[in-house]
Amino acid sequence: MTVELTAKQRQQSRLMLMFAACSGVVMVALGAFAAHGLNHRLAPHLLDVFKVGVQYQAWHTLALLGCGILSRFLPSKALSYAALFFVIGIICFSGSLYALALTGIKWFGPITPMGGICFIIGWVMLAIATWRSA
């Protein structure tokens, strides 16, 4: 099945896939940093916080990759919104956990749930996009 994409749709798909690739690079680097560079420098509970950030970034990087691939076949605004919310979620959720673990500044903690809400919205938008494609 071939779908003719507009220039804007091709660009959006490309951006989704590029962000997924970049996020994957960062995620692997931060995971290695946690395993080899932080395990003796952070308190165990802060290392666990950092690792949760890496895990959620990994899962949502894969979700974003899926959005980028799906957008090549089922372009939709809902899919674009799903990708956007996954990106914002990665930045807010994982980013705030990294900052909290590395600095110990508790102010970063309240940002984490906002990222979690973005993840949830992203999954809902992905469900809407796939439901509408049928």
Q: Residue with structure tokens 């990759």?
A: 65
- Res 119: pLDDT: 98
Contact between 80 and 71 (Cβ < 8 Å): yes
Q: What is the mean pLDDT of residues 17-33?
A: 97
66-86: pLDDT as tens digits: 999 999 998 899 999 999 999
pLDDT confidence of 2, banded at 50, 70, 90? low
Q: What is the mean pLDDT of residues 112-124?
A: 98
Q: What is the mean pLDDT of residues 30-36?
A: 95
Q: What is the mean pLDDT of residues 34-47?
A: 92
Helices (H), 41-110: 44-70, 77-89, 95-103
Is residue 48 pLDDT above 70, yes or no?
yes
- Please indicate, yes or no, whether the overall pTM of this predicted structure exceeds 0.75: yes
- Res 1: pLDDT: 58
Q: Is the dihedral of CA 73, 79, 84, 88 positive or negative?
A: negative
pLDDT confidence of 100, banded at 50, 70, 90? very high
Higher pLDDT among residues 64 and 74, named by residue = 64
The rounded mean pLDDT for the chain is 95
